[in-house]
Every structure is written in structure tokens, then in C-alpha cells.
Structure 1
Amino acid sequence: VFIQSKGLMSTEAAVSFPYGDGSGCILASQSGFFEFVDDSGANYFAWQLEAGLTYRLIVTTGSGLYRYDTQDMVEVTGFTGDTPRLRFSGRIGMVSDLCGEKLTEAFVVRSLAEAGLDHRTYSLLVAVATPHPHYRLFVETGPGPAVEVLGGGLDHALKANPQYEYARRIGQLGPLRTTGVDDLYGRLKRHRMKGGTSIAGMKAPVLLTRSDAALLAALGADKEDA
């Protein structure tokens, strides 16, 4: 059974939903008024966007939010007619820095796509500081390449960041470890709810910049690694 992505939904706004055969999800253009800000700070409307570029998302809704900065980044993957198709590309300010590599969530999203992991139901890269700094990839199990192949592909894609490549080459960062688990997002959600996080405001990150033993155990780190 093929399970579609739910699109980009939050307590603030319904931004996109799955429709058609294109990559990403189509903008929910009738659910609010959307503005998009590029790296230079220039604002654009939906019909002015360019495929392949990434924008910061601003929403105005009928429930009273006016030009609310969601702190979400979205990539334009194409168009259905005049309506853009979007892919969540990370949160503003989400940066992992174990050994000077400074991986942003947006870069990790692109690297996951390059490694073929964007077709999985859910994948999550976790920074692990002890006993030796390394990254751990958790992958929702399913059909397709073996998890160790996917992990190797992601490690290669991450090396496009020269600081990551250097830290891996000289051994400051240990090898990327990969674990395939069932119900990955459910595991993360239950762990966060135990810590007091409300399910209403919970999003599915692709990068966690810190971790502890409890989180790793909750995600299934006791399973055999690749």
C-alpha cells in the first residue's frame, strides 16, 4: 500500500497537500494568503516563485494570523498549472555542529533527496556527541535499497559540505551509522510526548542537533546497525 505524504500542515496553517504525480505537494492556495522570502529578503507571491529555489514561508490566515513567520523553509519542486509544488526544506536556524561541520537542516533535506531517501516514509539524521562524535541515520523500514546502501549514499552526499568531508577524513567525525526501524515517526512522537511536548505543535524534523541515551533508545538504536 502506497502511503502519501500529508503535505506541510501545522497549527498555524494548512500549507500544502498531496495532489497529482509531481514531486512535492501542491500549495493549498485557498487556505490562506502565502508570501515567500528568498535569501536576499525579497518577498514573492506564489505565482512569482521559481522552481528549484528555496524560500522562507510567511502566512496570513482567516483565523487571524497576519504575515506570520513560520520559520519553515520550502523548496519549489515544480508547478501544477500556475500553482507551485512545495517540499519542506527545514527550519530556520537548525544547525548541527559537532566538529565544525555546521550542517543545516535544509542541506540535510537536499542530501537525503540526493541519496534517494526522500522516497522513504520518514528518515531522521541525529547528531551523537558521545562517546565519539558521529551522525546516526534512522530510516523507516520499507521496500527499496538496503539501509546500509542508503546510509552510504547519504554520507557521500553530506561530503559536499567541505567541513563535514574534512572531519570525516581526519577522523574527528566517526562513520555515519544507519538503523532501520518500524514506525520511526511514531517512536519520536511518543518520546516527545513523554517529555511534555504537545502533539498539536509537533513537526517531523529531518535533523536533530543533539541526542541522549533515552532518545536513541526510543528511536530503536538498540537494533543492529549498518
Structure 2
Amino acid sequence: MNIPTSKTNDCLNMLIVDDEPAILSSLKGLFRRQFNIETAESGEEALELIKTKDCEWHIVLSDQRMPGINGCELLREVREKFRFVTSVLITGYTDVDDLIKAVNEGHIFGFVAKPWNPRQLKVMVTKAAEFTQFQLQANQCLTDLAHQEQRLSSVETVSKQRFLEFINWLEIHGNSEQKELLSNLHRLGDKAWDALPSLISEFPQSRESNDHAFQ
């Protein structure tokens, strides 16, 4: 499954699907300034375009009634391929059963009934774009958080390793007082950390005088 990173609104990719070329052209003109647009005249053509074109799809606007694969079937398949795609369906009043099913199954973000009003359709698609942006930004935040957690885990691992190396160094090069404290470290319990300043008090000078004994 493809997972895109956050993008600006004017970089969102939109796929418009309708089997009537005149309507397809009208829809493309309505949104050409908002999105990067590709069109398809059937569900089959749309799926082939998705398969062959190397990009992420963020908004899909499709008619419901088309020969072959209908709008709901198309949007179901698109949703399976792109986690953060947001789909809008243009549907007639006779398609209520398919519409309810699509909404319940989460295949569409919203719908506009025929005959569609340009302003109403634009508002719906703009809301879909905003929802897509929210998903992309949330995913980016989670990705950044995961990277930070990974870095912290790596730092913690290195710190533990360095600490063990330091203890080993003290066993060899520490002064008598440090070695005595070190020998009792495991018996100090909660006071162990209070003893560490005494252990390391002479460490920088000792390290410098031992020709990089502690690397």
C-alpha cells in the first residue's frame, strides 16, 4: 500500500472519471487550477492509469453510472491501493442503495447528486482535499515521531555501551578510591547513582594520560 508524505494543496493529484467526454472536460476545467488532473472515460481506464502512472492519487472524483466498472466498484479498488486517497461520487437519486453501501464501507468521502451544481461540487471536493491534507500531515507527524524514537533508542544503546566501557576502564585505570567504590556499586542500590560523581571525578585526566585507553 502506498503511503505518501505531506504535500501542498496545489500538488495534490486528482483523477476524474466519467464516461461522457463533454462532462469530463467540464469537470477538468472546474478543478484545473486546484490540482494536478488526469482523466479517464471508464472505470477500467482509470484502473489502468493508476497501474501504469507512477504517482500518488489523493482525490478521485467519479461518476457512479458507467458501463463496466461503476463508480463504487472503482473507488473501492482505489481505496485498497492508496491509503490516503479521498473519493467523491457523483450519483443519481436512483443509486441510493449503492451509495449507502459505499458510505458504510468507507469507500467515499462524500457525494454530489445529479444534476450537480458547480459551486456545490467544488465545495465538496475542496473539503475532500482538506481531509486528504489532514491525513498526510498526521502521517508525516507519526513518521517523524517514529524516527525520533528510533534515534533516542539508538542514543540510549550507545550510552549504555559507553557506560559499560567506562566501568571497564575504571577497573583497570581507576585510583584506589574509585576502585573501592566500583567494587561496592552493586550493593549501593538506589545510592549507586549518587556515587558516580566520585567515580568519574578524575576520569578526564586519567583518560588523557592513558593514550586513548577508553575509546
Which bin holds the TM-score, normalised by the shorter protein? under 0.3
Higher strand share: 1
TM-score (normalised: structure 2)? 0.22
Higher helix share: 2
TM-score (normalised: structure 1)? 0.21
